[in-house]
Amino acid sequence: MKLQVHRTYNFNAGPSALPFSVLEKAQAELIDFRGTGMSVMELSHRSRTYEEVHNQAINNMKELLSIPDTYEILFLQGGASLQFSMIPMNFLKSGKKASYVMTGSWSEKAFSEAKLFGDVYHAASTKEGNYRSIPKIDQLQYNAEDTYLHLTSNNTIYGTQWTDFPDSGDVPLIADMSSDILSRPIDVNKFALIYAGAQKNLGPSGVTVVIIRKDLLEQANTSVPTMLKYSTYAKNNSLYNTPPTFGIYMLGEVLNWVRELGGLTAISERNEQKAKLIYEAIDSSNDFYIGHADKDSRSLMNLTFNLKTEELEKKFLEQAKKEGFVGINGHRSIGGCRVSSYNAVPIEACKAFSEFMIDFQTKNS
């Protein structure tokens, strides 16, 4: 007899919702993985069975994102936060500069870390407008001699997202895509390096994916500790030391799930449909709900808004919690409300929340 499972409306910003079918499969395989008599968490990372899991995850990533053979796919640890340091350690050259586009808290943190290793500056910033927008591509000011140009593709705290990316020419373009990777088709060829923590769209926390162009690898600084060199992972298929095996297994299953849904075109349409439900409730509310991001910069992943008064906002959040909506408090640094509608959040959850918003407005106007 199958047990009844209670599932909440999970809008957590990360770790975030995982596809229910993936969780069910992981549960079924947890004790005895593929007839080994062991959990995938117990397998040696040098075993043939785990190697198949590992390589399948890499191949799935290549297929879904149409990644050419000129790139390496690496599985690291330390989250995007470690990448903030690894990138300048590996690529910020002595006597050269790197440029950063400032669109929120995570780009600020990346910039602060890079300053420890060399000369960096702002290619653009929307901080004066409280990060309500993404800069226009023609507003970016960087130099052809820069060692790289860095941006954050989606801003979880402020709810903004790039809709297009610059063609940076000979300047390597590096992107933190932690919160919107795999949410829509992108042209990987525009980027020299993409990095992403897994815990939003790719799987559970503990895995960091890096997609890096091979020619950039060849340009890396050599006086970097072994475990902080990208080349260490590239030369060893990310198996130089013990990787987060269970997280990589789950990542591979999430990628299978996306493929079964129809790939990135299908997932993008689904994400647009989900976001539309929430944004329509905001836009039709006559400023009962006040969106944070400018409309042309709105994120499909993190939908941010406030209510007219703090008292009303508090009541809204309390009532939403009672109704089973989890994770909709805005980030502690700015407050307000935030609906994180990552890939695995069902359409039904966004529909239910939209209906709750409309009902709450009716009862409190």
How far is it, in rounded angstroms, from Cα 121 to Cα 142?
9
Q: Which two tokens stand for residue 151?
A: 């941006």
Return the percentage of the chain with pLDDT > 90, whole number. 96
How far is it, in rounded angstroms, from Cα 241 to Cα 53?
16
* Partner residues linked to 9 by β-bridges: 325
Band of residue 1 on the pLDDT scale cut at 50, 70, 90? very low
Query: CB–CB of 151/101 below 8 Å?
Result: yes
Could you please state the CATH topology (level 3) that the domain comprising 26-260 is classified under: Aspartate Aminotransferase; domain 2 (3.40.640)
Band of residue 4 on the pLDDT scale cut at 50, 70, 90? low
* Partner residues linked to 176 by β-bridges: 152, 195
Q: How far is CA 163 from CA 37, 39, 184, in A?
A: 47, 41, 10
| Per-domain boundaries in the chain | 26-260, 263-364
25: DSSP letter = H
Cis before 244? omega within 30 = no
Active-site residues: which are they?
106, 176, 200
* pLDDT, tens digit, 9 for 90 and up, residues 231-271: 999 999 999 999 999 999 999 999 999 999 999 999 999 99
- CATH fold match for the domains 26-260 and 263-364: no
Average pLDDT taken over every residue of the chain: 96
Query: CB–CB of 176/156 below 8 Å?
Result: no
* Partner residues linked to 304 by β-bridges: 338
> Whole-prediction pTM value?
0.97
Query: CB–CB of 208/80 below 8 Å?
Result: yes
C-beta atoms surrounding 31 within 10 Å: 10
| Residue showing tokens 């906002």 | 313
Domain 263-364: CATH superfamily is Aspartate Aminotransferase, domain 1 (3.90.1150.10)
